[in-house]
C-alpha cells in the first residue's frame, strides 16, 4: 500500500498536492501543536457521558468526604495522565474533600506529589489536615487486599516516612467502608485489580478511572456494568473535565493542539485524495 514516492513528478498542480514534501507537513504539524500554547483556542466541545458521570460522582460526595487518588503512571504517559491528575485533584480540592494520594509507580509518586502540592497552595490545603501523600507503594495485590480491611495499617507512614496515625486528614478512616471514592489514573490495566480486589467490598464506593486514550475502549464494559462509575478518557477527557469544573488547565491547551493536529491530518488526507481522483479522471 505504501508506494515509494515517485521519482519523476510532473509539476502540475494535481500531482503536486499528492506529493507534498514531508518537511512541509512537519512544519505545519509543529505550528498547530505549538500555536494553542500561546493563543487560547476555544473549540466546540461535547462532553462525553463517561466524563460527565465521573464528574457527577465526585459532586455527589458529601462535604468532608474522603477520596483516595492513585497515580500509577510514569514519564512515558505524562502528556495524558498529568492533566487528568491535575483535573481530578483540582475538583476534589475545589469541593474541599479530604484527599489521600499515592502511587504504585515510583515516578508517578513524584509527579503526583508535585501536582498536589502546587494545587494545595492554590486552594489553601494544609498538608496533614486536608491532604496527605502516602508515597510509592510497590506490589499492587498486597496493598489493595490490605487497604480493604485496614487503611491506617496499610499506610502507616507518608512519603517522607512521617507516621500518619495522628494526621487529622485520616481521622475516622479505618477501612474501605469509610472511603467515598477511589480514582485511579493509570496507563495500565490496573483497574482490573481494583475491581477484583477492592470495589466490591464497599457497595457505596465510587471507583473512577482515568486511562490513556489507547486504553479506554477496553474499559467501557465495566462502566456499563457500574463497576467503574465514570471514565476520564485521555487528554480529551481531562479537557472536558476542566470545562465541567470551569478551569482552563493543561488539558484544554493540549486538546486545542491535538484537535488541530487531527484536523490537519484529515485535511491532508482529503487533499491527497482530491489530487488522486483528479489525475485519475484525466488519465481516463
Partner 1 sequence: MLEPIVRFFSAKPPAVLPYYVAGAVIFSILVILLLINLPSRMRKPLIAIVTFLAGLFYAAEFFLPIDRATNKNVLTDYLVSASKLGSLLGGMTLTLGILSLLRVHGRNIARLRAGWYNSLALLVAMVSMVVFGLMDKYGANASAKKVFNVLFEGMLINMDATMFSLIAFYIVSASYRAFRIRSIEATILMVTAFLVMLGQVPVGNAMTDWLPREGFFASLRVENIKQWILSQVNAAALRAIAFGLGVGGLAISLRIWLSLERGAYFEKEI
Partner 2 sequence: MEALWQDILSRPAIYAGAICTIGLMTLVYRENAVYRFFEHVFIGLAAGFSIVVLIKEILDPFLYQPVFKKGEWYWTFVFMFGLLFYFIHSRKYNWLSRLPIGFLMGFAAGQAFQSFANTYLPQIAVSFRPLYVTRADGSVDVSAGINNLIFMIVLVTVMSYFFFSFEQKSKVIRNSAQFGRWVMMVAFGAIFGTTIMARMALLFDRMYFLFSDWLRWVQ
Partner 3 sequence: MQHAFEKIWPVLIVEVLTALIIIWRIISAQRGKELFIRRIPGLNAIDEAIGRATEMGRPVLMVPGIGGFSIIALQALSIFSYIARSTARFGNRILMPVADATVYTVAEEVIRDAYQAEGHPERFDPDSVRFLSDRQFAFASGVAGLIQREQIASSFMFGEFFAESLIFAETGNMVGAIQVAGTVQTTQIPFFIAACDYTIIGDEYYAASAYISRNPTMLGSLVGQDFGKLLIASLCVVGSVAATLSALDVPVLGTASKWFIDLFTIR
- Could you list the residues that contact partner 1 (CB under 8 A)? 1-3, 5, 18, 20, 22, 25-26, 29, 33, 43-46, 48, 75-76, 78, 213, 217, 220, 236, 239, 255, 258-259, 261-266, 268-269, 272-273, 276-277
Query: Using CB under 8 A, which of the segments 52-60, 87-95, 120-128, 206-214 binds partner 2?
Result: 206-214
Residue 274: contacted member of partner 3, partner 2, partner 1, none (CB under 5 to 8 Å, by partner type): none
- Pick what 34 binds: partner 3, partner 2, partner 1, none; C-beta below 5 to 8 Å, kind-dependent: partner 2
CB of 208 vs partner 1, minimal distance in Å: 19
Cell of 41: 483556542
Q: Provide, rounded to whole angstroms, the least separation between the CB of residue 163 and partner 3.
A: 37
From residue 119, alpha-carbon distances to 7, 107, 133, 235, 245 in Å are 56, 19, 13, 19, 14
Is residue 78 part of the contact set for partner 2 (CB under 8 A)?
A: yes
Closest CA to 166 of 132, 117, 119: 132
24 binds partner 3 (CB under 8 A): no
Residue from the set 1, 39, 46, 281 that interacts with partner 3 by CB under 8 A: 1
Cα 159–178–114 angle (5° rounding)? 25
Shorter beta-carbon distance to partner 1: residue 132 or 144: 144
Asked if 267 interacts with partner 2 (CB under 8 A), we say no
CA–CA dist 179, 10 (Å, integer): 69
What Å distances lie between residue 117 and 84, 122, 235, CA to CA? Answer: 16, 9, 21
Residue ranges in contact with partner 3 by CB under 8 A: 1-2, 4-5, 22
Residue ranges in contact with partner 2 by CB under 8 A: 23, 26, 29-30, 33-34, 37-38, 78-80, 212-214, 217, 234-236, 250, 253-254, 257-258, 261-262, 265
Amino acid at each position: 500500500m505504501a508506494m515509494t514516492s515517485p521519482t519523476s513528478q510532473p509539476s502540475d498542480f494535481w500531482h503536486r498536492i499528492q506529493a507534498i514534501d514531508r518537511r512541509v507537513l512537519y512544519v505545519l504539524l509543529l505550528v498547530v501543536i505549538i500555536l494553542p500554547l500561546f493563543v487560547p483556542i476555544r473549540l466546540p466541545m461535547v462532553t462525553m457521558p463517561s466524563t460527565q458521570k465521573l464528574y457527577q460522582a465526585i459532586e455527589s460526595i458529601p462535604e468532608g468526604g474522603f477520596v483516595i487518588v492513585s497515580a500509577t503512571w510514569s514519564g512515558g504517559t505524562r502528556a495524558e495522565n498529568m492533566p487528568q491528575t491535575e483535573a481530578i485533584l483540582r475538583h476534589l480540592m475545589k469541593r474541599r474533600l479530604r484527599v489521600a494520594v499515592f502511587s504504585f509507580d515510583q515516578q508517578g509518586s513524584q509527579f503526583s506529589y508535585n501536582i498536589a502540592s502546587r494545587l494545595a497552595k492554590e486552594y489553601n490545603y494544609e498538608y496533614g489536615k486536608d491532604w496527605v501523600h502516602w508515597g510509592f507503594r510497590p506490589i499492587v495485590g498486597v496493598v489493595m487486599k490490605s487497604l480493604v480491611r485496614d487503611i491506617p495499617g496499610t499506610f502507616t507512614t507518608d512519603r517522607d516516612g512521617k507516621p500518619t496515625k495522628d494526621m487529622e486528614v485520616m481521622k475516622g478512616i479505618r477501612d474501605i467502608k469509610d472511603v467515598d471514592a477511589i480514582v485511579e489514573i493509570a496507563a495500565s490495566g490496573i483497574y482490573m485489580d481494583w475491581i477484583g480486589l477492592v470495589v466490591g467490598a464497599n457497595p457505596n464506593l465510587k471507583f473512577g478511572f482515568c486511562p490513556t486514550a489507547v486504553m479506554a475502549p477496553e474499559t467501557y464494559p465495566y462502566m456499563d456494568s457500574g463497576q467503574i462509575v465514570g471514565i476520564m478518557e485521555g487528554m480529551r477527557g481531562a479537557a472536558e473535565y476542566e470545562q465541567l469544573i470551569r478551569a482552563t488547565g493543561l488539558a484544554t491547551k493540549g486538546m486545542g493542539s491535538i484537535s488541530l493536529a487531527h484536523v490537519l491530518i484529515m485535511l491532508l488526507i482529503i487533499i491527497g485524495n482530491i489530487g488522486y481522483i483528479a489525475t485519475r479522471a484525466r488519465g481516463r
